[in-house]
């Protein structure tokens, strides 16, 4: 692959943008296909599920609820990046298999995080989409490894990454030949302590201005408060997000991680109704698979 033409970034609106991800590198916008579900088209895709895969029952119950209320992709963590070595580290490969089963049972494509280059092959075989989390946005060997798969990648913004660094991380993946990348704003670190992170919704229009890749928002990690998730989810759709990834647990109070920011099925159902209105108000629609019509 000749990289020569790609050394000099493109400049858009004063910002330096890597060539392959830049909006100038191709005529239209990229739509990422996750097991049949489009992200980045005119519709808005809702990804939902628990923070962590805990056991088959918890997962399947949650999966059924989120599908019933309108989610089109199932999320769930099996390899969990935890600040403390003494926290629950996830079920690993067993968790990925449970996720695959829950995906089959409900017909939902699945997305799960990969943290180690050595996990990539296994996860790529078993999941429909691979997530590179916030803490690994600067993990270049991992970016290269997922770039070599032909699976869609959900790339989360580092908690203190500039948008230029975010786009450079995506460029690492595209540079390996994989253009199926979805960018996810999930909150940045600031001095403000009342929210877990500061959700930077301006990143949505700015990224869509600079790149052809779809942009989604994670209001769960972005706020860290269950009660704030619906409001910020609606704001994200109003800001032009191509999708949302939302933590839902069939029993949030029993969750092994992030219960305080996970919606219950009822809360999720209510939110979906609200999201449809906001999406319509800005000329879009929440994506529904054909069979639901």
Site for a second copy in 77-96 (CB under 8 A): 81-86, 89
Residue 273 interacts with a second copy (CB under 8 A)? Answer: no
Strand partners, 112: 130
Residue 31 interacts with a second copy (CB under 8 A)? Answer: no
Q: Which is nearer to a second copy, 105 or 278 (CB)?
A: 278
Q: Contacts with a second copy in 49-68 (CB under 8 A)?
A: none
CB atoms within 10 A of CB 90: 24
Using the contact rule CB under 8 A, the part of the chain among 31-39, 122-130, 156-164, 284-292 near a second copy is: 156-164
Residue 140 interacts with a second copy (CB under 8 A)? Answer: yes
Determine how β-strand 37-39 pairs with β-strand 32-34. antiparallel
Site string for a second copy, 102-131 (x = CB under 8 A): -------------xxxxx------------
Name 16's Cβ contacts closer than 8 Å, sequence gap at least 6.
Answer: 9, 10, 164
Name 72's Cβ contacts closer than 8 Å, sequence gap at least 6.
Answer: 37, 45, 46, 47, 108, 109, 287, 288, 289
- Residue 26 C-beta: closest distance to a second copy, Å: 18
Among 110, 127, 159, 271, binds a second copy (CB under 8 A): 159
Site string for a second copy, 238-257 (x = CB under 8 A): xxx-----------------
- Residue 72 C-beta: closest distance to a second copy, Å: 21
């Amino acid at each position: 692959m000749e990289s020569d033409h790609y050394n000099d970034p493109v400049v858009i609106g004063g910002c330096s943008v890597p060539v392959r991800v830049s909006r100038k590198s191709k005529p239209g916008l990229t739509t990422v296909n996750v097991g049949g579900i489009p992200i980045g088209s005119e519709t808005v895709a809702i990804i939902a599920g628990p923070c962590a895969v805990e056991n088959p029952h918890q997962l399947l119950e949650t999966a059924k609820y989120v599908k019933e209320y309108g989610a089109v992709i199932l999320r769930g963590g099996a390899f969990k990046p935890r600040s403390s070595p003494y926290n629950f580290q996830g079920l690993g490969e067993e968790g990925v298999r449970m996720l695959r089963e829950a995906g089959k049972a409900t017909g939902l494509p699945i997305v799960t995080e990969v943290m180690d280059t050595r996990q990539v092959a296994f996860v790529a075989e078993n999941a429909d989409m691979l997530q590179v989390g916030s803490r690994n946005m600067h993990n270049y060997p991992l970016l290269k490894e997922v770039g070599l798969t032909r699976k869609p990648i959900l790339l989360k913004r580092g908690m203190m990454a500039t948008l230029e660094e975010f786009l450079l991380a995506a460029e690492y993946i595209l540079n390996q030949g994989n253009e199926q990348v979805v960018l996810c704003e999930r909150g940045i670190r600031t001095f403000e302590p009342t929210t877990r992170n500061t959700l930077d919704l301006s990143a949505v229009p700015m990224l869509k201005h600079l790149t052809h890749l779809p942009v989604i928002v994670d209001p769960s990690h972005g706020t860290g408060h269950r009660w704030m998730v619906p409001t910020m989810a609606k704001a994200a759709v109003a800001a032009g997000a191509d999708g949302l990834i939302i933590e839902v647990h069939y029993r949030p109070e029993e969750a092994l991680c992030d219960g305080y920011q996970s919606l219950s099925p009822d809360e999720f159902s209510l939110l979906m109704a609200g999201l449809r209105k906001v999406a319509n108000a800005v000329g879009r629609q929440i994506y529904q698979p054909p069979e639901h019509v």
